[in-house]
A and B are shown apart, each in its own frame.
Chain A
Amino acid sequence: MRRQRSVDVLVVGAGPAGLAAAASLAGSGAATVEVLEREARAGGVPRHCHHGGFGRWGAATGPRYAEDLVEAALGAGAAVRAGVSATGWSGPLSVDTTGPHGLERITARAVVLATGARERPRTARLVPGSRPAGVFTTGELQQAVHVYRQEIGTRAVVVGAEPVSYAARSALRRAGVDVAALVTEEARAQVSRGRAAAARVPLLTGVSVAELLGRERLSGVRLRRRDGRERVLSCDTVVFTGDFVPDHELARRGGVLLDAGTRGPAVDMSFRTASPGVFAVGSGVHAVEPARVAAGEGVRVARAVRGHLGGVGWPCGAVPVVADAPLRWVAPNRLVPGASGGRFILRTAEALVCPVLVVRQDGRFLYRQRVLGAVLANRGLYLSGGWVGKVDAGGGPVRVAVG
């Protein structure tokens, strides 16, 4: 009893990446474009970020930015259906959905996965201790504060000192919660010193959360310094921030090849996955970049999708691109013959000062790039792609290393 339908392009996920892709595709008028969003409203994560820092000049708030993206997609003629979840596949390009109006099976000529990312919660980080109430991720906290206006607690500890951690700090302040400290295992905040100072909150560096305490409700966190010394910080709320991971369930259930580094679908410079007709963009591919980067990928994937609809063949065979430690991952991470230009995003596990990135294939030197300034752990680092034409399509993996 599934209704069966067909569209030209099915976009899964109405965040910045999916909406931007839908707007450019529908705008070109060549195709019927439908966007599915499992949340009650379209817009993705920015909808929950009631702070500035979005849009071209960083002037818009998250909800405003999200609204503009939804308007643009609708205005261009895309169908945006909120409250509808893509729950699985019934064929290589057929997606099963559930919504209040029933079950559907939507077959498309191209599927764009734009499913976003989540923060690893306490459990996935294997933080031991009791299981009390009062434990959040930023995602949950922001919705609780901004969308539902719920009571949070009275005194919080924020785990992490990345941009998102400071967003958590603002949400807590909005909710009237005292923030006892931000704690990070890193040696410094993962934001500019100015921004860290402006937050006016104690920052404990070189510290990890060893245990959560309390029975029904959190009563404190036990912190451990690198030298092993411990102390208990009392609080009734703890927010685990950052440590993003792509929401790759749909990709994986569809047999889409994943990249071991990003944990998202492996994609080429045109955001094509290894599965013909399936594209992937945004935080679902590499978690997490600023929203405009995700939206930019949406615009770029539209070009590739149009090519696919117009009959450009799907590349078979690709050379993987891998990042060597201390680099964590690189995206895109598949190079197909004839690829050109573009930019690579990387993450490093450790802070680097003016690193030199070196690209090699089978030991053969391809490219070297100096990155100016200090690069903080878990922050983005970019590598230009002028060298991709030199890659031997029959060769081994391309490696990006700090040289």
Chain B
Amino acid sequence: MSVTTKGPLPAEPYDVTVVGAGVVGSAIARELAGHHRLRVALVEASGDVGNGTSKANTAILHTGFDAVPGSLEARLVREGSRLLAAYAAESGIPVEPVGALLVAWNEEQLSALPGLLEKAERNGYDDARIIGADEVRAREPHLGEGALGALDVPGESIICPWTTTLAYATQAVRGGVDLHLNSEVQKVSSAPGADAQCHELSTPRGVVRTRYLINAAGLHADALDRRLLGRGEFTVTPRRGQLIVFDKLARDLVSHILLPVPTALGKGVLVAPTVYGNVLLGPTAEELDDKGATHTTHDGLADLRAKGRRILPALLDEEVTAVYAGLRAATEYDDYQIHSAPEERYITVGGIRSTGLTASMAIAEYVVGLLADAAGPDLDLTVGGNLDPVSMPNLGEAFPRPYQRADLIATDPAYGSIVCHCERVTRGEIRDALISTVPPGSLDGLRRRTRARGGRCQGFYCGAAVRELFDGWGESGAAR
């Protein structure tokens, strides 16, 4: 069990290496950790897990009611949703089953609802129903004028995406997977001679040798695919989604995920509560060609505000806590691009578009199934070791947080010492994150583990104090 961030990489070959420690790659590594005879590596370009698309989404645990019926995505979202809900309950990842209302604002949208209801049923989701304008208003009294009706989808939930990825990675590492951070795979080749069975992955920290390779590189999965196969099965075209996070004091304005009637470009702009007690407005959908374009724009934010004002007018009077953008890994296809190349001992897990968080555990099971098929007796994937359960820090408002727990504070006063006041994050939680199995690589990583510095003041009060703790613990200062 180890996490490395610098220095040379181990010379001994791995049985399986997963490239990309997003929610998908981490889920796959976790699934493989269950087979404890394997030497497994999880190799990540950035300094932390979940640092790509997985940190910047809308954090909805989908039912898959609106997927393309019969697609792989529809199946994996449906299965993944159940798997992740159960896993979250066991691991302390906050989930709130708030339900969604797909709101029709004009006659055309209203007339689309029966089709969506039928689609939901074809996707095996039977709990949806159409409700009238009065019921919509009764259930969401702050909704803007003019809602004509809605599709009620009670099964949609909100979840914490950060602790989901972290839980997978933590369990994988504790289950024996080597996590190598700051290790961008730049070149892939096959070793000459005795090691001909191995792929050689060149990274700035040296070479990783591995018999089997799983590509879960998110936005860059197509590039790795091309490098390895000499051709690409698909091309990733990033589709940016900008979002605005409103203050927690806005949380009472909305109780469901308010979805628009979907368009060709995607699910459209929604208003949704978050498990942290904020309200999200977004995302936009912008086709780009720059895979690094995770910045927000003036026009994007203005567009969101205009749309948000229609959906929930009072929301616009509330303070904004954060703005961010994520890039969906869209491809030319309408489905996930998961391909196995047994000859090359290689599996691509690409095009995990806008549902990868929900589907992550089902994708992992599916991929390990493909690996078993590809490897046959060459890899022993039958021995399912029991992974010890993990217990994630609770970042959710619907469950007691440490600052609210007299029992916890009695055992350790650090849980009564609030450092970040807006988010009520205690010194104890910050310490725990800094000495955890997969410690944060940056202040932003610490924020995703604790919410420190993530609140309405963005560090006006706590920024310097949190930085002091970050620099003082960890490698350099061990709780100075």
Contacts and interface: CB of A to CB of B under 8 A. Distances in A.
Contacts of A121: 457-460
A126 B323 contact: yes
Contacts of B190: none
B417 A99 contact: yes
Contacts of B456: 118, 124
B135 interface: no
Nearest to A210: B298
Nearest to B294: A130
Interface residues of B, number: 46
B459 A98 contact: no
Interface string B136-178: 0000000000000000000000000000000000000000000
B295 A211 contact: yes
Contacts of A103: 404, 406, 409, 416
A136 interface: yes
Contact of B460 (A100, A130, A140): A140
B115 to A, nearest CB: 37
Given A103-B409, A143-B464, A85 B418 contact: yes
A107 interface: no
Contacts of A143: 463-465
A118 B294 contact: no
B320 A98 contact: no
A102 B410 contact: yes
A122 interface: yes
Interface stretch (A144-152, A268-276, A348-356): A144-152
A99 B427 CA distance: 11
A215 interface: yes
Given A85-B418, A87-B403, A144-B467, A123 B457 contact: no
A130 B320 CA distance: 16
B292 A38 contact: no
Nearest to B412: A100
B106 interface: no
A139 B461 contact: yes
| Residue of B249, B295, B422, B458 ringed by the most chain A CB atoms within 10 A | B458
B296 A102 contact: no
A370 interface: no
Contacts of B468: 148, 150
B421 A38 contact: yes
Nearest to B426: A98
B323 A128 contact: yes
- Residues of B contacting A: mostly: mixed
B174 to A, nearest CB: 29
Contact of A128 (B301, B404, B464, B467): B301
Interface in A177-219: 210-212, 215
A210 B298 CA distance: 8
- Residues of A contacting B: mostly: mixed
B465 A100 contact: no
Contacts of B245: 123
Nearest to B443: A133
A315 interface: no
A136 B463 contact: yes
Contacts of A150: 464, 467-468, 471
B319 A124 contact: yes
B432 to A, nearest CB: 16
Contact of B458 (A83, A101, A122): A122
B249 A252 contact: yes
A39 interface: yes
B424 A87 contact: yes
Contacts of B301: 126, 128
Contacts of A39: 461
A67 B15 CA distance: 64
Given A126-B320, A147-B464, A211-B295, A98 B409 contact: yes
Contacts of A247: 457
A46 to B, nearest CB: 14
A231 interface: no
Contact of B465 (A87, A99, A148): A148
Given A98-B403, A103-B406, A131-B324, A140 B459 contact: yes
A124 B321 contact: yes
B399 to A, nearest CB: 16
Given A87-B424, A100-B414, A133-B443, A118 B460 contact: yes
Interface string B180-201: 0000000000000000000000
Nearest to A147: B464
A332 B464 CA distance: 34
Nearest to B466: A140
B249 A249 contact: yes
Given A118-B460, A123-B323, A144-B463, A85 B421 contact: yes
Given A2-B406, A144-B467, A249-B249, A128 B321 contact: no
A98 B300 contact: no
B320 A123 contact: yes
Nearest to A122: B458
A383 to B, nearest CB: 26
Interface string A64-78: 000000000000000
Nearest to B46: A216
Contacts of B10: none
A215 B444 CA distance: 13
Nearest to A146: B464
A129 interface: yes
A233 to B, nearest CB: 17
A62 to B, nearest CB: 15
Contacts of B249: 249, 252-253
Interface in B305-334: 319-324
A1 interface: yes
B50 to A, nearest CB: 15
Contacts of B292: 215
Nearest to B453: A140
9 tightest Cβ-Cβ pairs between the two chains A and B:
A121-B458, A1-B406, A100-B413, A140-B463, A139-B460, A143-B464, A144-B464, A130-B295, A128-B296
29 contacts: A1-B406, A85-B421, A85-B424, A98-B409, A100-B417, A102-B409, A102-B410, A103-B406, A121-B457, A123-B245, A123-B323, A123-B458, A124-B321, A126-B244, A128-B296, A130-B295, A136-B459, A136-B463, A137-B457, A137-B458, A139-B461, A140-B459, A140-B460, A140-B463, A147-B464, A148-B468, A211-B298, A247-B457, A249-B249
Given A128-B295, A139-B460, A147-B464, 19 more contacts: A1-B406, A85-B403, A87-B424, A98-B418, A100-B414, A101-B413, A101-B416, A120-B319, A128-B298, A130-B294, A131-B295, A136-B463, A139-B457, A140-B461, A143-B463, A143-B465, A211-B297, A212-B295, A245-B319
